[in-house]
Chains A and B, each alone.
Chain A
Amino acid sequence: MSLLDVQGLTIRYGDETVVDGVNLFVDRGESVGLVGESGSGKSQSALAILGLLPRQAVASGSIEFDGQQILGASDSVLNALRARRIGIVFQDPMQALNPYLRIGAQLRQIPLTHDLCDKAEVDARVVEMLASVGLPDPERQFRAYPHELSGGMRQRVMLASALIAEPDLLIADEPTTALDVTVQAQILDLLEDVRDNTALLLITHDLGIVAGHCEHTIVLDRGRLVEQGPTTSVFAAPSHAHTRALLAAAPRVDRGEVPEAVTSSTILSVGDAVVDYRDLQAVSKVSFSVKRGETVAVVGESGSGKSSLVRAMLGLVPMASGRVVYAGSTLEGPVEDRAQSQRRDLQLVFQDPVSALNPQMRVQTLVGEPLLVHEPQLSAAARAERVAGMLERVGLSRKFLRRFPHELSGGQAQRVAIARALILGPRVLVCDEAVAALDGSVRKQVLNVLRDVQADTGLSIIFISHDLAVVRSISHRVLVMYLGRLVEMADSETLFAAPKHPYTRALLDSVPVPDPVAMPKRAPLRGEVPSPVNPPSGCVFHPRCAKADARCESKAPALRDVERTRVACHYPNA
């Protein structure tokens, strides 16, 4: 008998069916991956198993846990199961932890509620659990409040709370989506190490995570189960078209074509850029240039200063020192002080299209506004024509013209934002995590739009991203930043084939690969990004570097050319 046996699970909201006849089972100790894009019903299924569906949802079918029917069971029955026999880890640990309770106080509740140990022993049990999920100094974290911990540490606490009662099943719903890729690798490995005999139901949109961490794979598409089987066979020989489409849309960091280096002239260069916020330096003396028709990627974990760098370049935040030269002329001061011609040539696409589009304006006005400013002589009809043409360019039909942003899906909204940025025919487009929030298939479409526009118009793109697999597929050159410093810069071909800086190597190793056979050897990075308020001495990367020695601790390495790479490391080939 399976531990969890779900038969014909159907969930409806009014007339809308979000989960449609899903059958799945999880055996004791087994790890099962539930993958699908947004709207596939994967999270809804998990909520149904936990009995946490909102009141207006109507669920039918059968969910048996260890032989007991739990679909529609009373709260008292479910409360006896939840946390005790079924543990749960959500995507956002900040929302799952009570900000007013110390970590220890929250974790104590679980063993005490379920009478798992004596009051006298419970604190020791919690500290032991915190130690086992790799929290440094667990006694101190026991007394800490959630806001005092980093995102990765909070997710470790969540994992500790999910596992403290030694449940039979652990449900993890996108547990690493909000984390940096290096921390994601740590948490996923930890998940493997600490769960012992606990079965795992891992819900994710990332095929790479399933390939690396699950024995069994289930693929959902628009509420229907389309494929399931052992992970190796699902990935080796997918039988359903949707699985094949998902796999095709998942970029790989370890193989595939890399765009060839561009040899045209330089259009934009940034020299010794420094960005200071109150008590910290977000960007320290970074120099780089972009050629015509080239895509330059800027990668790094959160806090690496990649967004601050381009924002200062665009004049959205002040640059403490340094210079920006665009097409022979210097760009200075805030964006309002720059010439209109310079403003129209440099455009930005944000990560979250919903906040980048004025909620009170229709698509027509949003995309047409730049024309209104820069080409006021245009008649309304001519402007509307240009807007419709631009929308078509990004793959949206005329029917979207009258829509408001809240009537668009994430991918449609991002394409509207791109249309708005492109309508003036800029020379340089900055994409700040522009595809990070999109599903695989939509991301592929958006990337294709960017590639096509680049091929047609010679657009230069600065592509900020934390996702190296996407970067590999689109960029000609890559800049790697760490704690506000440029640590490595090379052509994509060189960088992906032979990374020189240990940080770059660790980043590449941390990216999950959607292939259970070709899993690369992983050397996960220790710890997390230190606070930029008080950066480490010498090479800022040395506390996390396996190769660091006394020299790295005392002396900061300068950027220098090693073969075809510019790198800041004392031991670039070690």
Chain B
Amino acid sequence: MSGNRSIRVTAGILLAVAIAALVGPWISPHDYATTNLENTLSAPALSNMHLFGTDDLGRDLFVRTMLGIRVTLLVAIVASLVSLVIGVTYGAIAGFVGGRLDAAMMRFVDTLYALPFIFFVILLMVAFERNFLLIFVAIGAINWLDMARIVRGQTLSLREREFVEAARLTGVSTLRIVFRHIAPNLVGIVVVYVTLTIPQAILVESFLSFLGLGIQEPQTSLGALVDAGVKHMEGASWSLLIPATLLALILLCFNFLGDGLRDFFDARHPS
């Protein structure tokens, strides 16, 4: 698949999933939290509008799945934005200023790398109650380290490039060099890296939810749904298969999108 086509196809799928997640709960007659103990673990059916069936409390799984997608995408996007803002700023400063500041900033990153972050996050979750906001912060805090390293490396090599020297010689101000000469050349790699960070964030969130440390009931996410589905794998396989398939599809699409974007930026500016 050529770069351009894979971008269009995967972006299209992701958009469709996102729209379904936004609109779905709104048109469904059911509610995500209402239990119905007379209709637990029912199979998907059109007649009662339980499109994805019901869970062990009789809640509609279609609405819950759409809600789960919302939460999962939201977590992924917010966490990626956190890593984007912190990581790019931190990496660009370290790379452009260089010298001792660079060394100090990067040793700090190394130190953070050395912490077992998942363990750290689990401790946080246990200590501070399960908090929606905390999940964003925790996942973003894991991801910005990689972003900072990548941006710092790229900035460091761009700073030494001859077109930057030419700009310095001409008298172009440092600010303009950063924003007109270095930043545009970072866009490609940052965009690509963000699309690859999103699936990572989704996985971490799903992992936390699967462990029961993520989203709190009656709110849900794809990870939490998979966790619930596993318990009824025998007898109500759809309750596992549907959220698991959607999770896989979203992850796959983001990964392909990242690959496509990388090809796209490569082809235009072969380095």
Contacts and interface: CB of A to CB of B under 8 A. Distances in A.
Interface of A: 314, 316, 335-336, 340, 343-344, 346-348, 350, 352, 355-361, 369-370, 373-374, 406, 417, 420-421, 424
28 contacts: A316-B168, A316-B169, A340-B171, A343-B171, A344-B170, A347-B169, A348-B165, A350-B162, A352-B162, A355-B162, A355-B163, A356-B162, A356-B163, A356-B165, A357-B163, A358-B163, A358-B167, A358-B181, A358-B185, A359-B185, A360-B185, A360-B269, A369-B167, A369-B180, A370-B172, A373-B171, A373-B172, A417-B166
Contacts of B184: 358, 360-361
B171 A344 contact: yes
Interface of B: 161-163, 165-174, 176, 180-181, 184-185, 268-271
A344 B166 CA distance: 11
Contacts of A373: 170-173, 176
Contacts of B269: 359-360, 406
Contact of B169 (A343, A359, A361): A343
Given A336-B174, A360-B185, A406-B269, A314 B169 contact: yes
B270 A406 contact: yes
Contacts of A374: 170-171
B270 A346 contact: no
From DSSP, what is the main secondary structure of chain B's interface residues? helix
A346 B185 CA distance: 27
Contacts of B162: 350, 352, 355-356
A32 B107 CA distance: 59
Contacts of A360: 184-185, 269
A149 B2 CA distance: 41
Contacts, number: 68
B181 A370 contact: no
Given A347-B169, A369-B172, 15 more contacts: A314-B169, A316-B168, A335-B169, A336-B168, A343-B169, A348-B165, A350-B162, A352-B162, A355-B162, A356-B163, A358-B167, A359-B185, A373-B176, A406-B270, A420-B170
Nearest to B164: A358
Contacts of B169: 314, 316, 335, 343, 346-348
Contacts of A358: 163, 167, 180-181, 184-185
Contacts of B167: 358, 369
Interface SS of A by simple majority: helix
Nearest to A311: B165
Contacts of B166: 348, 350, 356, 417, 420-421
Nearest to B166: A356
B163 A424 contact: no
A424 B170 contact: yes
Contacts of A420: 166, 170
Q: Which residue, B161, B169, B173, has most C-beta atoms of chain A within 10 A? A: B169
A369 B170 contact: yes
Nearest to A336: B168
A419 to B, nearest CB: 12
6 cross-chain pairs, A with B, having the tightest CB-CB distances, nearest first: A360-B184, A343-B171, A356-B162, A358-B163, A370-B170, A359-B269
A466 to B, nearest CB: 18
Nearest to B181: A358
Contacts of A314: 169
A253 to B, nearest CB: 29
B70 to A, nearest CB: 36
Contacts of B181: 358
A420 B170 CA distance: 9
A359 B164 CA distance: 11
A369 B174 CA distance: 14
A335 B185 contact: no
Contacts of B171: 340, 343-344, 370, 373-374
A501 to B, nearest CB: 32
B185 A355 contact: no
Given A359-B185, A406-B269, A316 B165 contact: yes
**Among A358, A361, A369, A417, residue most surrounded by chain B Cβ atoms (within 10 Å):** A358
A355 B270 CA distance: 11
Nearest to A342: B171
A137 to B, nearest CB: 36
B103 to A, nearest CB: 16
A359 B269 CA distance: 7
B102 to A, nearest CB: 17
A335 B168 contact: yes
B58 to A, nearest CB: 57
Contacts of B163: 355-358
B176 to A, nearest CB: 8
Nearest to A335: B168
Contacts of A316: 165, 168-169
Given A316-B168, A360-B269, A420-B166, A355 B161 contact: yes
Contacts of B161: 355
Contacts of A406: 268-270
Nearest to B271: A359
Contacts of B173: 373
Nearest to A423: B170
Nearest to B176: A373
A370 B172 CA distance: 7
A548 to B, nearest CB: 38
A420 B171 CA distance: 13
Nearest to A346: B169
Contacts of A336: 168, 174
A356 B167 CA distance: 9
A53 B118 CA distance: 51
A361 B270 CA distance: 14
Contacts of B176: 373
Nearest to B163: A358
A357 B269 CA distance: 12
A343 B170 contact: yes
A358 B168 CA distance: 13
A297 B163 CA distance: 23
A340 B171 CA distance: 6
A313 to B, nearest CB: 11
A11 B126 CA distance: 69
A203 to B, nearest CB: 25
A417 B181 CA distance: 15
Contacts of B268: 406
A424 B172 CA distance: 13
B213 to A, nearest CB: 43
Contacts of B174: 336
Contacts of A350: 162, 165-166
